[in-house]
């Protein structure tokens, strides 16, 4: 019995090292996902999501186009942005100082939605809701952060930030004009 205890004691450093390694292996994925902000996500079919985007484009298109895509100026609140190989659609024109909820979803393969320090994995069949409050001098760049094929590295988009139309603060509106 004493011999057995001594044998265990002799192997204690090895045991502790093994335990620490197991703890690290289990813990590391948790670290990776913990430091990402979490956003609400809901299930929606790609067809239903495309219908939301199309309705927004129909109702709030500015008439302008960029890269063959309509430029859309939706009111503050819910805004729909779809990811597909290899673009974010449509081009969003948002007002500085207003609050938006960006509903983002992929309609084909896995994509990533990266803007500022937000990074969300887009899985087809689900939309993620990201709060978005552009500042007057912001020129937000959206990038795909998940490899999605040949032109993944070109999958970027600008959000056009414009002065608020009925700006409560005119100075803020003027500053946003210098984008």
Q: Name which of residues 3 to 42 contact Cu ion (CB under 5 A).
A: none
The window from 40-48, 60-68, 96-104, 138-146 that contacts Cu ion (CB under 5 A) reads 138-146
115 contributes a contact to Cu ion by CB under 5 A: no
Tell me which residue has tokens 């899985």: 123
Least Å distance between CB 122 and Cu ion? 9
- CA of 63: how far to CAs of 45, 69, 73, 122, in Å? 28, 10, 10, 29
Least Å distance between CB 144 and Cu ion? 3
What does the alpha-carbon distance between residue 62 and residue 69 come to, in Å, rounded to a whole number? 11
Closest CA to 99 of 70, 71, 74: 74
Contact present, 141 and 158 (Cβ < 8 Å): yes
144 contributes a contact to Cu ion by CB under 5 A: yes
72 contributes a contact to Cu ion by CB under 5 A: no
Site track for Cu ion across 151-170, x = CB under 5 A: -x--x---------------
Residue 143 main-chain phi, psi, to 5 deg: -130, 150
Least Å distance between CB 87 and Cu ion? 10
- Helix (H) / strand (E) containing 171: helix 170-176
Least Å distance between CB 100 and Cu ion? 23
* Nearest CB to Cu ion, comparing residues 121 and 162: 121
* Nearest CB to Cu ion, comparing residues 122 and 161: 122
How many residues are given for the chain?
179
Binding residues vs Cu ion (CB under 5 A): 144, 148, 152, 155
């Amino acid at each position: 019995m004493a011999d057995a205890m001594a044998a265990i004691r002799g192997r204690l450093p090895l045991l502790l090292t093994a335990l620490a390694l197991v703890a690290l292996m289990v813990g590391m994925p948790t670290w990776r996902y913990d430091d990402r902000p979490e956003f609400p996500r809901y299930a929606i079919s790609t067809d239903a999501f495309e219908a939301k985007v199309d309705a927004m484009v129909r109702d709030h298109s500015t008439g302008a186009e960029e890269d063959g895509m309509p430029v859309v100026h939706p009111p503050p609140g819910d805004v729909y942005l779809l990811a597909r190989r290899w673009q974010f659609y449509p081009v969003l024109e948002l007002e500085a100082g207003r609050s938006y909820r960006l509903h983002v979803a992929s309609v084909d393969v896995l994509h990533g939605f990266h803007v500022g320090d937000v990074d969300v994995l887009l899985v087809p069949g689900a939309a993620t809701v990201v709060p978005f409050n552009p500042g007057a001098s912001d020129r937000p760049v959206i990038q795909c952060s998940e490899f999605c094929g040949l032109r993944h590295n070109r999958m970027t988009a600008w959000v056009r930030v414009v002065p608020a139309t009925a700006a409560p603060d005119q100075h803020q509106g003027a500053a946003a004009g210098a984008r």
